[in-house]
Amino acid sequence: MSILKQHEKKRVIEKLVAIMDGRRGSLLFLGAHLPEVAVHAMGRGLYVTVVESNEERMKAFLEPLKKAGHDLSVSLERRPYEAIEFVASSYNYVICWDGVPAAFPDPALFFKKVRRELKAGGTLFLRTKVRQGPADAFPVLRSTWEKLPESVRQQVTNLAAIIETRMPASDVPLSATLEKCGGHFFNLESVEPLSIMGAQMTRLPRDLRSPFRVLPKGVFSLITHLDELLSSSKSGRLFPATALFTFAKTKEFGRVFMIR
């Protein structure tokens, strides 16, 4: 599984590094992940702040920064993100690697906090596991789904819930839920599937997952290749996956201060 995670991480780093090129401003990491992006950003004049209460992860994050001579320039916050009140409009970018923090029972509270701390025109990059609802899993049938009687749709939903008991995903949000919730506070720019095959493996029961740990590297290479093909295709979003959401803060405030 580590090879799959490395492959996913590489894709995100390449995307973010390309975005940081030629930019100025400040960058907030929610969690001590992707130090490669921090090194790249600081080398180009961006100010970096890292929020991380786990000392081991913070130490691992700082090692590459020390080698690059940036460790004394980074701002460190060792309190949980939900306990910090940053000054409004402080950051041009926020990177959140581990999904919406569990301390925010309602994702709207998380999106509202991040939006307050982003500057106008700023961007939130949210990497998280997502799954599809019954109607979302097959977009070509969505119009048919909406025409079905409510009783039939309920039966399908109930069946999906039974399937979920064998493939646990109670802690994995629906993609549509995040898109709708985030849309109250941001403009959704993109949802990019990162790891589709790997996400399916992580959803397997533990006893079925363990054999994958001893597969030859060639098999993992094939899986990562399938990931790339699925992620680049229009059908990629049909599958539960790890995805990178890109939300942009515009200058129009409107209804964003209302939590629905």
DSSP 8-50: HHHHHHHHHHHHHTT--SEEEEESS--HHHHHHHHHTT-EEEE
25-34, 45-54, 229-238, 240-249: least confident range: 229-238
Chain centroid to Cα 216, Å, comes to 28
Query: Does residue 157 register a pLDDT over 80?
Result: no
**Same domain (yes/no): 143, 71:** no
**Same domain (yes/no): 149, 104:** no
- 241-248/187-195 β-pairing: antiparallel
Task: Give the model's pLDDT for residue 171.
Answer: 66
How far apart, in whole angstroms, are the C-alpha atoms of residue 212 and residue 195?
15
Asked if residue 17 is part of any domain, the answer here is yes
96-110, 113-127, 144-158: least confident range: 144-158
**Same domain (yes/no): 10, 118:** yes
Question: Average of pLDDT values for 227-232?
Answer: 55
**Same domain (yes/no): 122, 140:** no
Query: Does residue 174 register a pLDDT over 60?
Result: yes
**Same domain (yes/no): 78, 174:** yes
Give the number of residues written for the chain: 260
Comparing C-alpha atoms, which of 189, 171, 198, 186 is closest to residue 100? 171
Q: Please report which helix (H) or strand (E) contains residue 231, including its range.
A: helix 217-232
Task: Give the model's pLDDT for residue 256.
Answer: 46
First to last CA, the chain: 38
How far apart, in whole angstroms, are the C-alpha atoms of residue 199 and residue 243?
10
Asked if residue 253 is part of any domain, the answer here is no
Asked if residue 102 is part of any domain, the answer here is yes
Number of domains observed in the structure of the chain: 2
How far apart, in whole angstroms, are the C-alpha atoms of residue 33 and residue 25?
19
Comparing C-alpha atoms, which of 35, 32, 123, 13 is closest to residue 76? 32
**Same domain (yes/no): 112, 225:** yes
**Same domain (yes/no): 145, 122:** no
- Confirm if 132 and 175 have CB atoms less than 8 A apart: yes
Comparing C-alpha atoms, which of 112, 80, 76 is closest to residue 98? 80
How far apart, in whole angstroms, are the C-alpha atoms of residue 175 and residue 242?
10
Looking at the chain, the whole-number percentage of residues with pLDDT higher than 90 is: 45
How far apart, in whole angstroms, are the C-alpha atoms of residue 131 and residue 89?
32
Tokens of 232: 């680049």
**Same domain (yes/no): 125, 185:** yes
Backbone angles phi, psi at 244, to 5 degrees: -110, 115
81-90, 230-239, 249-258: least confident range: 230-239
How far apart, in whole angstroms, are the C-alpha atoms of residue 197 and residue 219?
12
Q: Which residue range forms the structural domain that includes residue 146? A: 134-168
111 or 243: which leads in pLDDT: 111
Q: What is the mean pLDDT of the chain?
A: 78
Task: Give the model's pLDDT for residue 254.
Answer: 46
69 or 220: which leads in pLDDT: 69
143-152, 154-163, 164-173: least confident range: 164-173
Query: Does residue 226 register a pLDDT over 70?
Result: no
**Same domain (yes/no): 163, 37:** no
